[in-house]
Amino acid sequence: MTAQKQPTSPAPVLVLFRDDFRLTDNPALHAACASGQPVVCAYVHDPATYKQGVIGWWLAQARAALHDALTEKGGHLLQIGGDAVDIVPALVKHLGIKSVFWNRRYDPVGKAQDTTLKTTLESLHVDVQSLAVRLLHEPWTIRTGAGQPYRVFTAWWRAAQNMGEPGRCLPAPQTIEFHNYSDNLEKLLKAQAIPPARLPDGATAAEQDWPCSEEDAQEFLHDFVENNLAHYADERNRPDKDTTSRLSPYLRAGLLSARQVWHAVRAAPQKTVSAENAQTFLAELGWRDFAWMQLFYEPDLATRNLRPEFDHLPWHHAPDLLEAWKMGRTGYPLVDAGMRQLYTTGWMHNRVRMVVASFLTKHLLTDWREGERWFHDRLVDADPAQNAMNWQWCAGTGIDASPWFRIFNPVGQSEKFDPSGAYIRTWVPELRLLPDKLIHTPWKADAALCRQIGFTPGKSYPAPLVDLKQARAIALESWKNLPDRK
């Protein structure tokens, strides 16, 4: 009699999660489940890609939410600390994994890691599937007629629209067949401990402002499309109205994909949402892709002036001015309101981001990289491409940037975009009793009014840090003197 052959259990497959902490529209998870093999869901907390600050806290929240969602489906998210290039092959060998799935990354460190990892895994006869979902279009697919990357957003956006609609969204898997293992993998793989992610000092409202789960992200999206998309074009520059989507943190952590947002906007009823509003919003989403395209081709986007003539700009090194800017104590109400909103909540309205960036780089003549670093530390949506590109845009040092000589007047911007001072009153409460007319220029309040409302200029609220006219003249002069200015 021949011995009966024991059925061999199917080899598991691995899904690596990296800033795509969701079940819906997740091609890597979808393909792993479709393989019919048992699935291991893992996240490697790698010191090379680890981020601190509010974003570190936010990404930890997003991982925890994904872990909960996987637990509801009967599994969990394996979280291991260490170098992904070592940990993943070791994990694969230990569990006998035959296929690995991930969604593609485009940042320089992530790209390099994935290239090495792919080579190593393939040498172990493991199949690797790298899938596209992070952006609406792959960065290299939209090129000029001469085959070069675009340098101007409007031309890029026209070309992007000619690419047609982004792919359809994938549903969340109804069930996931998880691979069971009882080993203590952290111990076996000599994993490093994952440090607890804490909110930095002062970010007191971040937790309450940013509920963190895939359902919360969907709720923000639904609420925006339902209530605010219809007046996006008119109101998107108004911090007092606060009606933009606030989807940036959810896109950053991948609790939502860009194409989920795209299709939700396209599906909005035309009766209530005009084409102008939908198009204006989709173009903003386009800027996200445009930023990632820039980072793809310019890996040092966060550290190098893309216009080299700015290497000669005589930046001021004034730590006290920088500190006053960071803490919202410049004496310019809109700037201070924005910086305090950022410090407390981890987010700032886009119009105000532009105003505070212009003020730092031009009126304070401080290197944009200082601002980029501070934003990266404090933003809940801190993104290596969007942050760096926008700082270079505001400073005039980037491609398709606002020219250096376009210097936002923080008072004019305040009067135009926060006319009644509602935004300022929220974030700079010491100014709340000033009449609307004076809230943008508190130093103009006369003595009688100051006595009446108990306001002492320079004491209740700082005197202006610099004279706008003088600072603007110095900024323009510094720029005019640049050698090779274009």
Binding residues for FAD: 232, 244-248, 281, 381-383
Residue 320 sits at the vertex; the CA angle it makes with 197 and 354, to the nearest 5 degrees, is 70
Nearest to 357 by CA among 307, 407, 320: 407
Please pick, from the candidates 18, 179, 236, 369, the single residue that binds ligand FAD as defined by CB under 6 A.
Answer: 236
Catalytic residue among 138, 186, 235, 350: 350
Minimum Å distance from CB 225 to ligand FAD? 11
Instruction: By CB under 6 A, tell whether 413 contacts ligand FAD.
Output: no
The Cα–Cα gap between 117 and 113 comes to 6
The CB-of-401 to ligand FAD minimum distance in angstroms stands at 11
CB atoms near residue 190 (< 10 Å): 11
Tell me the closest approach of the beta carbon of residue 382 to ligand FAD, in angstroms. 5
When the beta carbons of 194 and 327 are compared against ligand FAD, the nearer one is 327
Half-sphere exposure of 189 (CA within 13 A, CB side): 26
To ligand FAD, the closest distance from the beta carbon of 259 in angstroms equals 13
Is residue 315 flagged as an active site residue?
yes
Out of 207, 226, 235, 315, the active site residue is 315
Q: Which stretch binds ligand FAD (CB under 6 A): 16-24, 347-355, 404-412, 468-476?
A: 347-355
Gyration radius of the chain over CA positions:
25
Which residue of the set 138, 186, 207, 284 is catalytic? 284
- Round to whole Å and give the CA distance between 336 and 404: 22
Q: Among residues 353 and 425, whose Cβ is nearest to ligand FAD?
A: 353
The verdict on 340 binding ligand FAD (CB under 6 A) reads no
Instruction: Indicate if 262 belongs to the active site.
Output: no
Please report how close the Cβ of residue 98 comes to ligand FAD at its closest, in angstroms: 36
What SS3 state is found at 70? helix
Window 293-332: contact mask with ligand FAD (x via CB under 6 A): ----------------------------------------
Q: Does 369 bind ligand FAD (CB under 6 A)?
A: no
Sole binder of ligand FAD in the list 21, 106, 156, 391 (CB under 6 A): 391
- Dihedral of alpha carbons 235, 239, 240, 243, sign: positive
The answer to the question of residue 387 lying near ligand FAD (CB under 6 A) is yes
> How far is the C-alpha of 389 from the C-alpha of 158, rounded, in Å?
20
Interface with ligand FAD, residue 379, by CB under 6 A: yes
Check if 368 is active-site.
Answer: yes
Q: Kindly report the number of other CB atoms within 10 A of residue 124's CB atom.
A: 12
Cα–Cα separations (whole angstroms), residue 127 to 114, 131, 224, 291, 469: 13, 13, 40, 31, 62
Residues 6+ apart with CB under 8 A from 62: 21, 212, 253, 254, 255
| Strand segments (E) across 82-149 | 99-103, 127-131
Give the interface with ligand FAD as residue ranges (CB under 6 A).
236, 244-248, 251-252, 284-285, 287-288, 291, 350, 353-354, 357, 375, 379, 381-383, 386-387, 390-391, 394
Which positions are catalytic?
A: 284, 287, 315, 350, 368, 391
